[in-house]
Structure 1
């Protein structure tokens, strides 16, 4: 029989005689035939699949973001392939190349750095939405107000009478972390306070030791702002080593309202980001770009508000009355 008839049978086209379709499927099973997805995508000039590339699936922020992208994509009739780069440049480059070769309909990317290479997508005309961290070259950008959130958090620590706040951040080439460090820096400069910044690399096993070294110093910080929830856990471990308690001995506030933030004692004060909503917004922007055509020069930026949630970790106990 013809190639066209076999194709219609394998794609369950109603015009094919059921007995004939059964024979085709039986032959395909006996031969171990699998459709060539890449060739099929090229022929159809597109897919109903998106690529979602994130840097760390262990980070609760990216987990919530991925859920927002996936659920919105499903409602729009798309499926999502998840790629976790683990903050590794080589893996990021490889995954973006794979997405370009497979001609995905679009991509949502949290880049490792501002100069991440997205040419494999853009050269193929694949619409791109960048999330959380800005990119020198890319498409639409969805993020939260990181600088302003860090400013608010640092001012809150000072309003609670902590006087030596430190910022626990990531390497300077991590754009969002750097914005938060700058927000912290703006506040301590404004108040004439010393700046204490500790930049901990991703996956650094010595992170707890680095914070412990700060606590052992002569002018040890009395409070901390961490730029993500994973770093809040690092600080909590260091405090536990020294039998220090947040909200009593040391103030602590972190970005991202992780699921465990209200379980620790005292509960953790946070700068909450609308991670799920950021994912939904990215998905809708991508859908519009796929529908209307992708133009890199007309890229849009959506910045969502952060919310300060004050809990016990940043509130010192009331001074005893005389």
Structure 2
């Protein structure tokens, strides 16, 4: 199905121009004709139901997250929805799969449909582009992940501090060769959590070369954690613990450990991000608990203020994490005498 971006490229205009053509905005006759011809060729038809709703002043916001199957983002989305509904806002949920192009298409749709605002967990710190929405005056709140150059409100977590605390906990429990399964390069959460791990390891006297050797990047999904853990277990000097930068990769890492007949807590495992079953596995999994619901609720509150015309300066809200200590980090097996 053709999108507003497809029509814009075919007509040689911006998505905003396409939106104005189909919503009664001011556009030169020549450009309007190009847009309509391109739309006819591509089979593009503006959503008349959505346009009718807009004339009735219905308020719809977009929520863009990488993967709603991730329990963290599912809880965040619930926080957004519950808070938005109390403010008479409806929520359209979009999965970007950490794909910047897919994210861009959804942002174009938000503009074309004249949504009241957008909450976005950015697919990339450097490549996510919110400038088109900001230029049009659309309220935008970055949640969990913040694009580096974006002039928008934001609600984030102190990822670096949480990761540093987690790594220090492993070291204090007696683990000496702590590895890290980081998320994909280019996302703010991944980079901040990796920075926290590195800081704690350097303070403990670990060399940068050792830190590099014990670091693997995953994709924030089960498969990525599984592959990274297998690589770490194959190192000549195998780690004795791992800090995993999100909950789904932790599940994959646990699977790889079980396949290799390696069991916590002899091999320490700590996940950044809690899971509903973390206390039920054997041994129960130590986690960094994230305020996922509160992240969503706070982002929705900020967006509601902007939709209502708040003229306050841009705000960044930073929430803290909580370390939930369980038996998966009880300590390594005693060394033979």
Q: Shorter-normalised TM-score: what interval?
A: 0.7 to 0.9
Equivalent in the alignment of 2:86: 75
| Gap regions ≥5 residues in structure 1 | 1-34
Q: Identify which of 189, 212, 215 aligns with 2:202.
A: 189
CA shift, 1:59, in A, is 1.1
| Superposition TM-score, scaled by structure 1 size | 0.83
Partner SS for 2:88:
coil
Q: Identify which of 306, 316, 322 aligns with 1:307.
A: 322
Q: Is 1:292 matched up with 2:305?
A: no
Contact 1:47 1:104 in 2 (8 A): no
CA shift, 1:316, in A, is 2.2
| Gap regions ≥5 residues in structure 2 | 1-46
Contact 2:222 2:252 in 1 (8 A): no
Contact 1:142 1:302 in 2 (8 A): yes
CA shift, 1:38, in A, is 4.1
Q: Is 1:36 matched up with 2:48?
A: yes
CA shift, 1:207, in A, is 4.6
Whole-angstrom distance in 2 between the partners of 1:241 and 1:318: 19
Give CA deviations for 1:182-219 in whole Å, capped at 9, x if unaligned: 00000111111231210123558465233212112221
Q: Identify which of 167, 170, 177 aligns with 2:190.
A: 177
Q: Identify which of 51, 54, 61 aligns with 2:62.
A: 51
User: Which of 1 and 2 has greater Rg?
Assistant: 1
Contact 1:143 1:304 in 2 (8 A): yes
Q: Is 1:275 matched up with 2:286?
A: no
**Which 4+ residue blocks in structure 1 deviate beyond 4 angstroms?**
202-207, 317-320
Give CA deviations for 1:250-299 in whole Å, capped at 9, x if unaligned: 0011111111211211111001011001111111111111112468xx32
Contact 2:226 2:256 in 1 (8 A): yes
Contact 2:244 2:272 in 1 (8 A): yes
Contact 1:38 1:103 in 2 (8 A): no
Equivalent in the alignment of 1:253: 270
Q: Is 1:236 matched up with 2:263?
A: no
Q: Is 1:64 matched up with 2:75?
A: yes
Q: Identify which of 165, 186, 200 aligns with 1:152.
A: 165
Give CA deviations for 1:132-188 in whole Å, capped at 9, x if unaligned: 111121411101110000010000001100000011011220111110000000011
Contact 1:130 1:141 in 2 (8 A): yes
Equivalent in the alignment of 1:24: none
CA shift, 1:242, in A, is 0.7
Whole-angstrom distance in 1 between the partners of 2:333 and 2:245: 27
- Count of aligned pairs between the two proteins: 284
Partner SS for 2:308:
helix
Equivalent in the alignment of 2:134: 122
Whole-angstrom distance in 1 between the partners of 2:109 and 2:291: 30
Give CA deviations for 1:36-76 in whole Å, capped at 9, x if unaligned: 234335545x5311111101112111000000000001111
Contact 1:157 1:223 in 2 (8 A): yes
Whole-angstrom distance in 1 between the partners of 2:181 and 2:248: 11
Give CA deviations for 1:102-143 in whole Å, capped at 9, x if unaligned: 111111100101230223422332100100111121411101
CA RMSD of aligned residues (A): 2.2
Which piece of structure 1 moves more, 309-318 or 79-88?
309-318
| Superposition TM-score, scaled by structure 2 size | 0.79
